[in-house]
Amino acid sequence: MHWPAVCENREGGTGNRGRGGSGVMPPPFRIAVLGAQGVGKTSIVQRFLRDDYSEAPTPGQSRKVHLSAAVLNGHVHDLQITDYPAIPSFPGSSLQEWTDSCCRGIRSAHVYILVYDICCFDSFEYVKTMRQQILETRVIGTAEVPILIVGNKRDLQRGRVIPRHNVSDLVRKTWKCGYVECSAKFNWHVLLLFGEALRSVGCARCKHVNATIRFQHALRRERCALM
Ligand code: GDP
Ligand code: MG
């Protein structure tokens, strides 16, 4: 059974709030969106949260934190989606994380969405390196944090540089990560990829419960309904 809920999206700010008089909120799901410059990270996040898209590249020097909410397994969860700039490397220690303001919160994310551009070989290499660094540097006990690999710009399929099945096999079979291809421009599979991300973090947290989550199309700007 899916329960509908309206989610609003707010920028900045943190903290849990009681909701609907039901008492304490579960802690927020922290989603980190990473990838090389220009792969479409900001476009994906904007498409998901606002159903908005711009042809202009976004200036990408700082991280942007967005707050939203979702219903997962019958519980309302705050979502904290952080759109990171193209960081040169994943911080190897908490000190490094806090020294570089772009990286704040990155080591404690519950799920990583690693985005590459299907037409840019280097952007896949970036994702490879980032995945490796995440596995090597995350604090002990959290190494199994879910990672979802996303190939964006699916609409530019003709310019694809690595066959889809090669990437998909590597990611799913060898890396044991989820793989989704999407187009922020045409809104293909954007909801699906966030659903996958939430399902993976939900499953990791409550191993005996099948994660049920469903998104509906945005009802109007700044709002969307989750079932
Ligand atoms: P970021 O640096 O990773 O945040 O990338 P942006 O979101 O700023 O996008 C970089 C450029 O790619 C912009 O000009 C976007 O309009 C374009 N872009 C983003 N997503 C897509 C997509 O799905 N298809 C196409 N064709 N272009 C896209
Ligand atoms: Mg950006």
What are the sequence ranges of the domains in the chain?
29-202
Q: Compute the residue count for the chain.
A: 227
Distance 42 CA to ligand 2 centre (A): 4
> What ligand has the least distance to the C-alpha of 55?
1
Distance 41 CA to ligand 2 centre (A): 5
Written as tens digits, the pLDDT of the chain (227 aa) is 232 233 334 444 444 444 444 556 667 889 999 999 999 999 999 999 999 999 998 877 889 999 988 776 677 778 899 999 999 999 988 898 988 888 999 998 999 999 999 999 999 999 999 999 999 886 555 557 899 999 999 999 999 999 999 999 999 999 999 999 999 999 999 989 998 998 887 655 544 445 555 443 333 333 433 43
Distance CA 127, CA 37 (A): 11
Distance 58 CA to ligand 1 centre (A): 8
- The backbone region for 192, taken as left when phi is positive above 0, alpha when psi lies in -120 to 50, beta otherwise, is alpha
pTM of the predicted model as reported, rounded to 2 decimal places: 0.84
Which CATH code, of 3.30.70.3270, 3.40.50.300, 3.90.190.20, 3.10.20.30, is assigned to 29-202? 3.40.50.300
**Of 43, 53, 64, 102, which is best to mutate to test ligand 1, by the most ligand atoms within 8 angstroms of its C-beta?**
43
* pLDDT (0 to 100) of residue 143: 54
The closest residue, in CA terms, to atom 10 on ligand 1 is 38
> What ligand has the least distance to the C-alpha of 54?
1
For 44, half-sphere exposure in the C-beta direction (CA atoms, 13 angstrom radius) is: 34
User: What residues pack around ion ligand 2 (CB closer than 5 A)?
Assistant: 41-42, 58, 60
